[in-house]
Amino acid sequence: MSTEQKMVRIIALVAIALGSPAVAAPQASSAAADAKPPVVCKYVVTAEAGSKAFRMCLTKSEWAQREAQASKDANRIECRFQEVPGTRFRSKKICQPASAWAEHRRLEREAIEQIQRSVCVYGAGC
């Protein structure tokens, strides 16, 4: 082995020992390929009486599939927590079909638009 080959070997060993990115790149790419996609956790509510929200962890693509599948069914049951007026901590769970929630949103939007369209003139009795 020539002196030049020995120097190249020593430099490569020193670069590996110091963690040089140029030498360690093949290892990093294989580690990135083995890494799992990031997980997103959300709280989910079931329609069962007395049940509480629980934490569900899925990847972004799994959440997208789940939401796309659920949005196709208008008769699926959705549960939401609504605060009880006059209290700070109490809430009640209301479960309805998705179509009923959509109708509820539509009626609220119409009420808001009606309020915005009405013009109140001072002295006109409003």
| CA distances, 67 to each of 36, 51, 78 (Å) | 21, 21, 12
The pTM score is 0.46
In order along its 126 residues, the chain shows pLDDT tens digits of: 566 666 666 666 555 655 555 544 455 555 555 677 888 898 887 767 777 778 889 898 888 888 888 777 778 888 888 888 888 888 888 888 888 999 999 999 999 998 888 877 676 666
Q: What is the residue whose two structure tokens read 């790419």?
A: 29
Residues 76 and 66: beta-carbon distance below 8 Å: no
